[in-house]
Homo-oligomer: A and B are copies of this chain.
């Protein structure tokens, strides 16, 4: 594997260049210190009487806390996603948040600069994981696993300029499903697309479309248009921006910044506006130039088979063969796909408007081999659900609907109308907890009854048990429905059974 062979040489070159840098190369750091010190001194001189200087309490740039409201949405979405992964027979897997730095090198193309490195505090050089795919490939190679269907839900980190709109952060959650192993063509690939459809339908996010293409078709297209092979990835990453930028701007980037001949760019332009169903695949087989390219033909053969399977799965109408789909990451080798949500059903004659990618993936048959000492490959295909964007959409929808979201699951509140009943309340609530009932009480010796009932209404707790002197004497507990305000006295020994009955009915 030439990729791996390059690693030590590059590392060596980097070290040498560091070594040969004159001492003054360190000075920017020193200057930086200077200005920081100056600022600190200045601040403390300017505010001599203030006890505290400006100490900003915040989360790091591009990150955020998830509030209980957000956690409820997250739990709901992740439950649906994970249960779909399990429905398709996937096993769970987890990997560390950081990897050896060198393991992440040269896997992400132009995006490598976005990797978070850990400080060298002695020992190994480490980086935070950038996705869940490379760690999965590392796991397969390290454990010599030749076949595995796994899912992984976890955070990844990327030092992007944080545009906080539409759920883009520097820390975000990924939900990945991948199938590793040598199998008959396109069967696992079709299952990945089926999974994307099941999840997007299940989440009821509205209409969606999955664009598919194949890296071999992309490369073939570049080759027949006359893009030099050394520019394939760079031009690909320009094309990849077509969902955010106009063709004019993309063309400009390719020609002015990446040195592509204008006529080559125009030829690409003709291809990348093509999208359609299986008939477009047939059409491309007839394309006089593309059909001359061996790799493109392989890709087209696979897409044809894929569409056949997608029809059997009943999802072919959700899939669009789209020649503008490239996918930025270096490691894809075959089929690639990306799901987008379509805003509100399109008016007659109008193109449906895209609101951005919510799931994506593809085939990466060479990645495991980059980690294997002997270069042994394990073909893989997988997908990643863009849950952060989905969280934002669901949160937004909840806000708009004005629906009140419960952030706790408490079923019963333990109340008293009287003073000096803490002991009885503590005994009673322990009884409920021990019976598996979700219960709360106020942490006060003598709370007012109204305060207690208000708490239940605010928190959406459906039942209240009330204990007072009268009840204690009679061996009963009052059970109150918060919604109807009805109260009944229940024999203490029957209380748990009655609560369970009420909860199972509601």
Which of A251-259, A330-338, A438-446, A482-490 is found at the contact surface with chain B? Answer: A438-446
Are A121 and B126 in contact, with the CB atoms below 8 A?
A: no
Q: Distance (Å) between the CB of A499 and the closest chain B CB?
A: 13
Are A8 and B94 in contact, with the CB atoms below 8 A?
A: no
The residue among A72, A375, A438 with the most chain B CB atoms within 10 A of its own CB is A438
A138 within 8 A of B: yes
Chain B residue with minimal CB distance to A373?
B52
* Chain copies in the assembled complex: 2
Please provide the chain A residues from 59 to 89 with a CB less than 8 Å away from any CB of chain B in the complex. Answer: 59-61, 63-68, 70-72, 74-75, 86-89
Known A55-B4, A87-B433; contact A312-B427, beta-carbon cutoff 8 A: yes
Contacts of A398 in B (CB 8 A): none
Contacts of A501 in B (CB 8 A): none
Known A198-B433, A313-B426; contact A89-B373, beta-carbon cutoff 8 A: no
Q: Distance (Å) between the CB of A353 and the closest chain B CB?
A: 28
Chain B residue with minimal CB distance to A155?
B97
The residue among A52, A141, A439 with the most chain B CB atoms within 10 A of its own CB is A52
Which of A182-190, A215-223, A296-304 is found at the contact surface with chain B? Answer: A182-190
Q: Distance (Å) between the CB of A456 and the closest chain B CB?
A: 11
Give the residue of B7, B71, B410 whose beta carbon is less than 8 angstroms from that of A55: B7
Interface of A, helix, strand, loop or mixed by DSSP: mixed
Q: How far is the CA of A181 from the CA of B103 in the complex (A)?
A: 46
Chain B residue with minimal CB distance to A445?
B184
Chain B residue with minimal CB distance to A67?
B93
Are B91 and A408 in contact, with the CB atoms below 8 A?
A: yes
Contacts of A34 in B (CB 8 A): 19
Q: Distance (Å) between the CB of A461 and the closest chain B CB?
A: 9
Give the residue of B55, B103, B314 whose beta carbon is less than 8 angstroms from that of A373: B55
Known A119-B120, A443-B183, A443-B184; contact A142-B313, beta-carbon cutoff 8 A: no
Q: How far is the CA of A36 from the CA of B101 in the complex (A)?
A: 15
Q: How far is the CA of A88 from the CA of B429 in the complex (A)?
A: 10
Known A12-B37, A52-B4, A440-B89; contact A68-B150, beta-carbon cutoff 8 A: yes
Q: Distance (Å) between the CB of A316 and the closest chain B CB?
A: 12
Give the residue of B40, B74, B91, B407 whose beta carbon is less than 8 angstroms from that of A407: B91
Q: How far is the CA of A86 from the CA of B55 in the complex (A)?
A: 35
Are B142 and A57 in contact, with the CB atoms below 8 A?
A: yes
Contacts of A86 in B (CB 8 A): 408-409, 438
Give the residue of B96, B141, B312, B373 whose beta carbon is less than 8 angstroms from that of A60: B96
Are B408 and A171 in contact, with the CB atoms below 8 A?
A: no
Are B312 and A426 in contact, with the CB atoms below 8 A?
A: yes
Please provide the chain A residues from 142 to 179 with a CB less than 8 Å away from any CB of chain B in the complex. Answer: 142-143, 149-150, 155, 157, 159, 171, 179
A51 within 8 A of B: yes
Chain B residue with minimal CB distance to A9?
B44
A-B complex: 8 closest residue pairs judged by Cβ atoms: A71-B92, A183-B443, A68-B91, A63-B96, A66-B94, A89-B440, A117-B119, A187-B443
